Amino acid sequence: GPLISTTPNIVYVNQPITTAVIAEDLKISDLKIEGRSDGEVVISWTTNKPASARVIYDNVSQINKTSNFTYSNATVEDSQLVTSHTVILDKNKLAIGTTYYLRAVSKVNSELATSREMAFVKLAGGEINTFGTAALFGTIGDFFGQPWLLWLIIILLAIWLVKELRERKTKI
């Protein structure tokens, strides 16, 4: 219990300080797709805490889904718990000129994090193109993931709206 010592007119209470540690949810960031000259496609990402790594992919987009994904291909899970992840897709399962959609998946204990969907096309020299709505919205998603930026945009829109309404009033 607390130790109490008294000196004339002063009471000292020596109480242990307890700190609450708020656990952060497992998150995926910095998702990148890279094509190599040998035809390998390398997917890399970072997690905010040590976790496993796996990539799920298909030639059909599931950009509107937030869970229960049904991608037809998946890499073997790398169960090594690290924060920097690299997964290589089997080049023999990737057809040249086909658009593939993928998500990175990381897991630790009962926590599961799945990235946004990204798209790429494998080209003939081993190079790849990342493009389309998946890549575009992924970039916009990262951009709007910054809370200060979202507030700035909301404030600017509000200022513009007020100005627009005032101008319309004066015209009438």
Q: Would you give per-residue pLDDT tens digits along the chain (172 residues)?
A: 555 555 566 655 566 666 666 678 999 999 999 888 788 899 999 999 999 999 999 999 888 888 888 999 999 999 999 999 999 998 888 888 888 999 999 999 999 999 999 988 887 766 677 754 444 444 455 555 556 666 777 788 889 888 888 888 766 5
In the prediction, which pLDDT does 134 show?
Answer: 46
- DSSP-derived pairing of the beta strands 78-89 and 41-58: antiparallel
Q: ∠ at Cα 119 (116, 121), nearest 5°?
A: 165
Among the listed residues 101, 106, 113, the one whose alpha carbon sits nearest the alpha carbon of residue 78: 106
CB 100 within 8 A of CB 120: yes
In the prediction, which pLDDT does 133 show?
Answer: 45
What is the reported pTM? 0.63
Among the listed residues 57, 43, 45, the one whose alpha carbon sits nearest the alpha carbon of residue 101: 57
| Spatial distance between the Cα atoms of 94 and 16, rounded to a whole number of angstroms | 59
The tokens for 140 are 């916009």
In the prediction, which pLDDT does 169 show?
Answer: 75
In the prediction, which pLDDT does 90 show?
Answer: 85
In the prediction, which pLDDT does 29 show?
Answer: 92
| Spatial distance between the Cα atoms of 54 and 78, rounded to a whole number of angstroms | 6
Among the listed residues 57, 51, 75, 68, the one whose alpha carbon sits nearest the alpha carbon of residue 130: 57
In the prediction, which pLDDT does 102 show?
Answer: 93
CB 40 within 8 A of CB 89: yes
In the prediction, which pLDDT does 48 show?
Answer: 95
| Spatial distance between the Cα atoms of 118 and 30, rounded to a whole number of angstroms | 12
